[in-house]
Chains A and B, each alone.
Chain A
Amino acid sequence: MIKAVIRVIGRRLMAIVPVFAIVTILVFGALRILPVDPAQMSLPPSATIQQVEEKREQMGLNKPIWEQYAIWFKRAVAGDLGESAQYRMPTSSVVFERLPATIELVICSLILAVFVGTVGGILLFSARGTPFESVGMTLTSAVMALPDFLLALLFILLFGVLLPIFPVNGRLDPGLQVPAQTGFLLLDSLLTGDIGIFASALRHIALPVMALGLAFSPTIVRVLHSSLINTYQQSYIRQARLRGLSDREILFGQALKNAILPVVILVGTQFGSLFGGTLLVEMIFSFPGLGNLMVKAMQTADLSVIMAIALIYCATTLIFNSLADAAAYLLNPKLRTG
């Protein structure tokens, strides 16, 4: 069984390699067409034309584009993603320094979204036919009309300005220091053994996680709700009822396993929007992660950073898609054993 799981996941992950290769070509090509000169960008404004020309030569910008791509590719495989024009540092270190913050944020949001979505979906389904169902549906519609960045702003207004109970800036209270061990602040602050620091980190991440997670959850609620309704129309549910199984046994023992499949697929396909949401949410909360970095890089046309982060976004989205695919595959015995 475990072997089969590894094989399926491995196969799915292999399948994204060509897709990712095409993505790198597209992103590379697109960024080279921009009316921005990377050489000039990477030098101080005072640089002479000759210095710029030398830099162009050094960066290989005078070669045909496919050769440039080959150079970039070779360097990228070796871990060299160029130099950030904004920070005058290797892009890789700029990017990877901020990666854990974003990963932490995304994982927490995803857990919240799936939890709220699943519980909400089951509750909404259990309330079918009652007025609570319409109330719940209206509520999901309302939250669906509030994308993550609006939720973030709204939470700032509510819990930062009107009722200041949550901090709205950064990852920790000013003055606190946590030695970086894993890079994941929640973990690191736990490792310090100081519960105060952990609480501070938790309070700081609360609003961004709520914004991202709650923005995603109504979609899950809706999909689970309608998927459960579909499942209940299947004849095996009717048959289970005719065998005298209780509502509870039918829901948790029979229906949920079948109904969860569309949710898994949804989480896989919509993961990109959750991840993309970090861009604005991090910016709004001054959360020092990839998204914040990306917005700054875009505003300053820091090409190598844009390229690196765009590729990280794509790779993560693709990996997550294929994991969800694999999960859906493994949940479906017809595909698995067929």
Chain B
Amino acid sequence: MRISFRLPDLSLLIGGSVAGLILLCALFAPWLAPYHPNDQELLYILAPPVWSADGSAEHLLGTDSLGRDTLSRLIYGARTAMTVAAAASFGAMILGAFFAHLAGYFGGWVDWIISRTVEVWLSFPPVVLSMLLIIGLGVGTDKVILAIVLVDWTRFCRVLRSEVQVVRGQDYVAFARLIGFSHARVIVKEILPATLPMLITLLSLQMGISVVVEAILSFVGMGVPSDVPAWGQMIADARIDMYDAPWGLALPIFAIFVTVLSFNLFGDGLRRTLDPRHTANRGA
């Protein structure tokens, strides 16, 4: 039918730009942050943000109970969150996609073993499993990343496996086998290109999930070391003084909310944009 000019998806645009902005904050944290995140100004604790009655431009978003600048800690917190999210999501994707393609493509006992493993994994609530892993692994940024990878690969595996099964049922996969493509070649050349959109979408959604898990772990003191600023930690600190300084609690919550929302929107937008049902219509 007619070729219509399609505006880029709105959520893709908004989600993408906000997520990009947060990534930039994370990258350039040392240049953007007005203070060092761990600098304490004990004379100036629990300062309110600039827009409240006795706020000052010195600390735009106020200070915490140790007199640390909230804005700087938020910016550095973004750095922690993004490092963990990017590394962990990528790791979970690689691991999950690998097993998903094996299980979905070969079926049979390979599928049986992988599916049962995923089932055992999923019987743990993810939060519980990640905390158990942290008890075993100990705290540290790398440990948090590893824990998230080990917990969330199943998310990729489960969703992608059924996607792979759908593609595997297509005749072009059977044809590739008939003309002598090896299994590895079929997976890489014929199946992966079809599952890639889903993979990228899941990656974006997983970024949001990783941010949340990192925040949860830092919140209960089982995440990154205490000298690394993290949003979860800021929430835990601010909780104690929430009656005196509600902003201290609200701001990191807001930071997590915006980050997760932007990745979710970006993922949703990606899903719609990359949906083959949309692209299939272009020539029809």
Check A-B contact in the complex, CB < 8 A.
Answer: yes
Query: Residue A26 at the B interface, CB < 8 A?
Result: yes
Is B222 an interface position by the 8 A CB rule? yes
Cα-based distance from A153 to B257 in the complex (angstroms): 12
Contact across chains for B122 and A313 when beta carbons are under 8 A apart: no
| Nearest Cβ on chain A to B231's Cβ, whole angstroms | 10
Which residues of chain B are within 8 angstroms of A142 by Cβ–Cβ distance? 257, 261
Interface residue range, chain A: 35 or more
> Which of the residues A22, A157, A277, A321 comes within 8 Å of B127, measured between beta carbons?
A277
Q: Which residue of B lies closest to A271 (CB)?
A: B125
Taking a contact as CB atoms under 8 Å apart, the answer to whether A314 and B216 are in contact is no
Determine which of B123, B125, B249 lies in contact with A157 in the assembled complex, contact meaning CB atoms within 8 Å: B249
Within the assembled complex, what's the spacing in Å between the Cα atoms of A268 and B162? 18
CA A14 to CA B62, docked complex, whole Å: 57
Which among A144-152, A178-186, A195-203, A234-242 touches the partner chain? A144-152
B276 beta carbon closer than 8 Å to chain A: no
Given A26-B120, A147-B212, do A313 and B235 touch, yes or no (CB 8 Å)? no
Chain A residues numbered 145-166 whose CB sits less than 8 Å from any CB in chain B: 145-147, 149-150, 153-154, 156-157, 161-162
Q: State A150–B136 Cα separation when bound (angstroms).
A: 26
**Chain A contact residues, majority secondary structure:** helix
Is A276's CB within 8 Å of the partner chain B?
A: yes
Question: Do the beta carbons of A146 and B124 come within 8 Å of each other?
Answer: no
Shortest beta-carbon distance from A183 to chain B in Å = 22
A207 within 8 A of B: no
Q: Are A313 and B124 in contact (CB under 8 A)?
A: yes
Q: Are A33 and B123 in contact (CB under 8 A)?
A: no
| B119 proximity list for chain A (CB < 8 A) | 19
User: Cβ of A191 < 8 Å from any Cβ of B?
Assistant: no
Q: Is the Cβ of A280 less than 8 Å from the Cβ of B249?
A: no
Q: Quick check: is A301 within 8 A (CB to CB) of the other chain?
A: yes
Chain B residues with Cβ under 8 A from A23's Cβ?
120, 123-124
- Contact between A154 and B131, CB atoms less than 8 A apart: no
The answer to whether A306 and B132 have CB atoms under 8 Å apart is yes
- Nearest residue (CB) in B for A294 is B128
In the assembled complex, B208 has its CB within 8 A of some CB on chain A: yes
CB distance from A35 to the nearest CB of B (A): 8
Which residues does chain B contribute within 8 Å of A27, judged by CB atoms?
132
Tell me the bound Cα distance from A230 to B119 in angstroms.
27
Cβ–Cβ < 8 Å partners of A177 in chain B: none
CB contacts (< 8 Å) of A62 on chain B: these are: none
Stretch at the interface among B41-49, B70-78, B177-185, B239-247: B239-247
Name the one of A146, A153, A162, A279 contacting B128, with C-beta atoms under 8 angstroms.
A279
With beta carbons under 8 angstroms apart, the residue of B123, B208, B256, B265 that contacts A150 is B256
Contact of B246 with A162 in the complex, beta carbons under 8 Å? yes
> B22 interface residue, CB < 8 Å from A?
no
Q: A23-B120, A313-B125 are known contacts. Are A161 and B256 too (CB-CB below 8 A)?
A: no
| Contact indicator B127/A279 (Cβ below 8 Å) | yes
Contacts of A147 in B (CB 8 A): 212, 216, 260
Q: Does B64 contact A (CB under 8 A)?
A: no
Q: Is B32 an interface residue (CB 8 A)?
A: no
Measured between alpha carbons, how far is A20 from B257 in the docked complex, in Å? 35
Q: Which residues of A contact B256 (CB under 8 A)?
A: 150
Residues of A within 8 A of B135 (CB): 34, 298, 301, 306
Q: Does B102 contact A (CB under 8 A)?
A: no
**Nearest-Cβ distance from residue A153 to partner chain B, whole angstroms:** 6
**How many Å lie between the Cα of A281 and that of B174 in the bound state?**
50
A residues 247-305 near B (Cβ < 8 Å) are 269, 272-273, 275-277, 279-280, 283-284, 294-295, 298-299, 301
Which residues of chain A are within 8 angstroms of B116 by Cβ–Cβ distance?
19
Residue B206 is within 8 A (CB to CB) of chain A in the complex: no
Residue of B nearest to A34 (CB): B136
The reply on B24 being an interface residue by CB < 8 A is: no
Complex CA–CA separation, A121 to B40 (angstroms): 49
**Among B123, B243, B256: residue with most chain A CB under 10 A:** B123
Given A141-B264, A283-B220, the answer on whether A161 and B127 have CB atoms closer than 8 Å is no
Given contacts A295-B220, A299-B221, A306-B135, contact A153 B249 (CB under 8 A): yes
Taking a contact as CB atoms under 8 Å apart, the answer to whether B242 and A273 are in contact is no
A299 to B219, CA, bound (A): 12
Please, which residues of chain A bring their CB within 8 A of the CB of B260? 144-147
A221 to chain B, nearest CB (A): 14
**Quick one: which of B11, B124, B132, B257 contacts A272, CB cutoff 8 A?**
B124
B268 beta carbon closer than 8 Å to chain A: yes
The answer on a CB contact under 8 Å between A156 and B242 is yes
- Contact yes or no, B257 A146, CB < 8 A: yes
Distance to closest chain B CB from A63 (angstroms):
21
Residues of B within 8 A of A206 (CB): none
CA separation between A276 and B264, bound complex, in Å?
21
Residues of B within 8 A of A110 (CB): none
**B44-87 interface mask toward A, CB cutoff 8 Å, 1 = contact, 0 = none?**
00000000000000000000000000000000000000000000
CB <8 Å contact, A273 and B219: no
If the complex has contacts A22-B120, A298-B131, are A145 and B264 also in contact, measured as CB distance less than 8 A? yes
> In this complex, what residue of A is CB-closest to B253?
A150
What would 11 A/B residue contacts be, using CB atoms closer than 8 Å?
A142-B261, A145-B264, A147-B216, A150-B212, A161-B243, A276-B125, A277-B127, A279-B127, A280-B220, A298-B131, A310-B132
Additional A-B contacts beyond A34-B135, A280-B216, A298-B135 (8; CB < 8 A): A23-B123, A145-B261, A146-B257, A149-B219, A157-B253, A295-B220, A298-B222, A313-B128
6 closest A-B pairs by beta carbon, nearest first, are: A276-B125, A145-B261, A276-B127, A145-B260, A272-B125, A314-B123
